[in-house]
Amino acid sequence: MFAKMASDMMIKPGQSPVFNSPQDFGLDYEDVEFQASDGVTLRGWLIEGGTDKVIIQSHFGVQCSRAGYTPRGKGLIKLWKEDISFLRQAKYLSERGYTILMYDMRNHGESNLGTCPWVSWGPEEGKDVIAAVDFIAHHPVYKDAGIGLLSICMGAAASTYAYGMGDQGLRRYPNIKAMIAVQPLHYKEFVKAFGMPGFIDRAGSKKSLERIGFDLNTTTFMPDVKSITVPTLVMQNKNDPWTDLDFVQQYYDELQVEKELRWLDLSKDRAAAYDYLGTTPGKLANFFDKHV
């Protein structure tokens, strides 16, 4: 029982409704869908802002979708008491002249189940980041646009894995000009900081291994950080209780490109930085304005 409960909490899909729409924010957009390399159909919004620069936003995992996070239906343990709408920063960026692609990664929101029907914390979702970039790179309107990656938590992990995928990865897209990695997170550090009892963690990890075919505790994107080729801003709440700050520092140190590390002084909540993206979107735009 403990094994299934722990594994479900960490990798079970279907915990991430799309709870609002660009229409709620008065944005011009179209519903889009595209396929990853393994045939998984992904769905999202293409929000119009300009033709020469595009932001691709990749959300965090399990309890999130392209729309962001809602506490509704999340039970007793909630990341945040209120909705965190990622459309807030999208609206700001759109008004600043950016087009924004917001999409649901596999096993989230309105996208299809993956060939692995569980959340993998980045390795499988890396295919989705590549598919999103490819969609823009071959779009008749935006194919020549500069691309900025706004990659949040698992989105940052997935983007990093995608850079490490060799000739099939993100390195083959010269239009990518910059990345913002928001609170990159590895499963092992998260579980340790979360304070899950060891026997539950071991049981849940064993069940997850059976489901996804690899060990979440030992699989890491850290070797792929050196493969990132674009200027990168790393953002992390220094009061985040659910991560190892040394891991974030290591991620930054491993980057071999123009880089910036921004420590945020926010409340003692993992989700405080996700809310910050919408309340202080100018900080994101300034970095993208410089590079995209």
CB–CB of 57/66 below 8 Å? yes
Over residues 93-120, mean pLDDT:
97
The pLDDT score that the predictor gives to residue 132 is: 98
C-alpha separations of 285 from 139, 147, 281 in Å: 23, 13, 6
Residue 129 burial by Cβ neighbours in a 10 Å radius (0-12, 13-18, 19+) = buried
Cβ atoms within 10 Å, residue 213: 11
Is the model's pLDDT at 77 over the cut of 90?
A: no
The pLDDT score that the predictor gives to residue 1 is: 66
**Tokens representing residue 176 in the block:** 């990518």
Q: How many domains does the chain have?
A: 1
CATH of the domain at 25: 3.40.50.1820
b/e sequence 139-165, b meaning 16+ C-beta within 10 Å: beebeebbbbbbbbbbbbbbbbbbbbb
Question: Over the chain, what is the mean pLDDT?
Answer: 95
The pLDDT score that the predictor gives to residue 37 is: 98
Give the pLDDT confidence of 201-251 residue by residue, as tens digits: 888 889 999 999 999 999 999 999 999 999 999 999 999 999 999 999 999
**Of 3-7, 107-111, 177-181, where does mean pLDDT reach its minimum?**
3-7
85: containing domain: 2-291
SS (H, E, C) 225-269: HHHCCCCEEEEEECCCCCCCHHHHHHHHHHCCCCEEEEEECCCCC
Over residues 168-179, mean pLDDT:
98
